[in-house]
Amino acid sequence: MRISQKLEYACRALAQLAKHHGSHTVTRLDELAQREDVSANFLVQILNDLRRAGLVESKRGKEGGYLLAKEPQRISLMEIVDAIDPSLLICSVSSEGESGAAVAESWRSIAKALQEHLSKISLAQLTITPGDSMFYI
């Protein structure tokens, strides 16, 4: 599956913001860009899209930066895709010809399953480093 660089960077930036969500402090653009090795100019465009979608908030000024607009557990991967690359989930298969309807229905079914799966994955899950132990009390 080919994920756009913009979508990948959005997920990485949001994961960074999620890691610091409990502190209620803003993260500066240059810090985000440095931590994720992303161009600050590209990242600001992405963060603006995420802000318009209601996923991040921005604070202006010398002490300004970005923070999540809601809890990481309440932000789904589906919301991030919708904000950054909604065309990813558009099924553009034609139903023409004798086999077209069956082929198109198969791809629509796959797209629906993907949307459902993306809705089940939270931003909080993206902050877990593979190999980290999870402890539940």
Q: What is the pLDDT of residues 5-47, one digit of tens each?
A: 999 999 999 999 999 888 878 999 999 999 999 999 999 999 9
Q: Please tell me the distance from the alpha carbon of residue 98 to that of residue 115, in angstroms, as a whole number.
A: 28
- Between 1.10.10.10, 3.40.605.10, 1.20.1070.10, 1.10.10.60, what CATH number should domain 5-126 receive? 1.10.10.10
Please, which residues bridge with residue 67 across strands?
A: 57
Q: Which of the four pLDDT bands, split at 50, 70 and 90, describes residue 92?
A: confident
Q: Please tell me the distance from the alpha carbon of residue 27 to that of residue 3, in angstroms, as a whole number.
A: 25
User: Domain map of the chain by residue range?
Assistant: 5-126
Q: Which of the four pLDDT bands, split at 50, 70 and 90, describes residue 135?
A: very low
Radius of gyration (C-alpha) of the chain in whole angstroms: 18
Q: What is the pTM of this model?
A: 0.86
